[in-house]
Amino acid sequence: MTEVLSQDEIDQLLTAINAGDTEPEDFKPAADTRKIKIYDFKRPDKFSKEQIRTISIMHETFARLTTTALSAQLRSMAHVHVASVDQLTYEEFIRSIPTPTTLAVINMDPLKGNAILEIDPAITFSIIERLFGGTGEGTKSQHELTDIEAAVMEGMIVRILGNLREAWAQVIDLRPRLGQIETNPQFAQIVPPTDMVVLVTLETKLGEVEGMMNFCIPYLTIEPIIGKLSAQFWYSSARRAATNENLNTLKEKLSTVDIDVVAEIGRIQVPIKDVLALRAGDVVRLYNVKVGDTFSLNIGNKKKYLCRPGVIGKKIAVQIISKTEELEKEEFEELTTEEEEL
């Protein structure tokens, strides 16, 4: 904080300088201890640290699912994990990847725009060789994919995209689709070179072969859901998903439970000796019940519906008229009126 000198202090300093007791060089400005962050206006930061962290968590799930999928498909040890999540320009991403390589253009429906999944050539040819019955050691030669090799990689990438949908499920119901596969980065211009992208780098190991998979998502594509990429939304979504899952399980279990449904015509108090004396053809007179009155349809021991008697074919049936909410309301009003009269 800057200290303001009084007039007397200023006069004393001027007197000391004029008298030669103090040199002007002795009065040096205090060192600026503020932390200065360099900001490049050509590369503005689009993602906050919290959003980068959330994207990393999402793709850690994607990495685990992909590890399982690759191991099952290739019948070999596989390991995928998130190495880094960075934001950079699309031009910098294109320049950082080799040529030729495997570039899968991904449609990010329902989000607008595309993303790119880039697979290192060493990983690509290791997958192809393993699926063709080889050891999976890959090949040192770098060449563009043949039609057969491209078809094999398409099938593998489609499997991987299913894992991507599951990893993004708590943020959006993503339905990624494979557009086309390119081998030259210059033919995969999905956004202008200066646009910012988020790059998820996945370190991949198949047997003894190591390489990288890069998932590049333009800011323009992810912008509509950028507000959902926060820790608070992420964890609240996880809780909601768990609650909905429990609720669906509970509903599924309850749907198989049997319960009595009884159409009640009326009630009457009868001595036990009269009940024991009842025979076929006897008539029981119900009080406060008239022909044409509706019945109460009970679910368990609760009155739920009003119904009318009828016949379907040779079977006795009832037709549901309405719920008993209005009936319960009328009974409550009658009971209240009686209490007031008392």
Domain count, the chain: 2
Q: Is the predicted pLDDT of residue 336 greater than 60, yes or no?
A: no
Q: What is the Cα–Cα distance from 69 to 71, expressed in whole angstroms?
A: 6
pLDDT digits (tens, 9 = 90+) for 259-294: 888 888 877 888 888 888 888 888 888 777 777 788
6 in any annotated domain: no
pLDDT digits (tens, 9 = 90+) for 120-161: 888 888 888 888 888 767 666 667 888 888 888 999 999 999
Q: Which residue has the higher pLDDT, 7 or 203?
A: 203
Q: Are residues 89 and 191 in the same domain?
A: yes
Q: Are residues 61 and 143 in the same domain?
A: yes
Q: Is the predicted pLDDT of residue 49 greater than 60, yes or no?
A: yes
Q: Are residues 223 and 300 in the same domain?
A: no
Q: Are residues 216 and 267 in the same domain?
A: no
Helices (H), the chain: 7-18, 49-74, 90-96, 121-131, 147-167, 219-222, 231-254, 272-276, 325-341
**pLDDT confidence of residue 232:** 62
Q: Are residues 194 and 85 in the same domain?
A: yes
pLDDT digits (tens, 9 = 90+) for 79-130: 999 999 988 888 889 888 888 888 999 998 888 889 999 998 888 888 888 8
Whole-number mean pLDDT of the chain? 80
Q: Are residues 301 and 236 in the same domain?
A: no
pLDDT digits (tens, 9 = 90+) for 157-186: 999 998 998 888 888 888 999 988 888 888
pLDDT digits (tens, 9 = 90+) for 289-318: 777 788 888 887 888 888 888 888 888 888
Amino acid present at 228:
K
**pLDDT confidence of residue 342:** 44
Q: What is the dihedral sign for C-alpha 255, 257, 261, 267? A: negative
254 in any annotated domain: no
